[in-house]
Each structure stands twice: as structure tokens, then as C-alpha cells.
Amino acid sequence: MTAPDDCLFCKIVAGDIPADVVHESDTVLAFRDLNPQAPTHVLVVPRSHHANAAELAAAEPATVAGLVAAAARVADDEGLDGQYRLVFNTGADAGQSVFHTHLHLLGGRRFTWPPG
């Protein structure tokens, strides 16, 4: 697990690394993904450091709800008309590469199932 001092997303939350921020609140920050997988690809992160969604849910369940609410607001702001996908990757084998909880908001194109 990445220590908070070395965490990329903690540095973005702190303002030490620039990001294209599209939404922020006291508990959540949302910014555009640098490697977008859809026309709209925004990462929604808690300001607090937890390695994954399960850890965040155990420690701060209200913040998990805040991530989803922020994603819905960004989706609305982006004009996605209620058509979007939300994804938490947990663990390296599931595709998690930054071990700070983050919710992917993907939209602006048709998605298939299963995702891959």
C-alpha cells in the first residue's frame, strides 16, 4: 500500500500536483483522468486517504455516498443525461494502479457488458 506521503492523489488533493478539477467539496475532489477511456472520464476521490473503496466504506461510509453524489453532479454538469458508468477498481489484479480510493465516472459513449 502506498503511504500517504507518496500518494499521487493525496498530492493532487493538497494542490501540490495540478489537475483539471471539475468539482470539489469539503470531503471530495473530482478531476479529469489524464488517460481517458471515454469522452468523459473523471476521477472522484475522497480528500482523506484510504487505499480502496472497502477501506473507505469501513472508515467513512458517508464519504462513499459523497463520492457517488459528486459523480452524479459531475455527470449532470457534463451533460451525460443520466447515461454513465461508475467504477471502483480494488486491487492491482482488478486494475487499481493508485492505491487511494477513487471512483471512475465514464460517459459520453456506449458501453458494453461485460466490461472486460
- Count Cβ atoms below 10 Å from residue 14 Cβ, excluding itself: 12
Q: Letter for the amino acid at 107?
A: G
Which member of 50, 100, 102, 104 is catalytic? Answer: 102
Helices (H), 30-79: 53-59, 61-77
104 as an active site residue: the answer is: no
Spatial separation of the C-alpha atoms in residues 25 and 75, rounded to whole Å: 16
Opening angle at CA 35, ends 33 and 38, nearest 5: 80
CA–CA gap between residue 23 and residue 13 (Å, rounded)? 12
Q: Mind telling me the catalytic residues?
A: 102
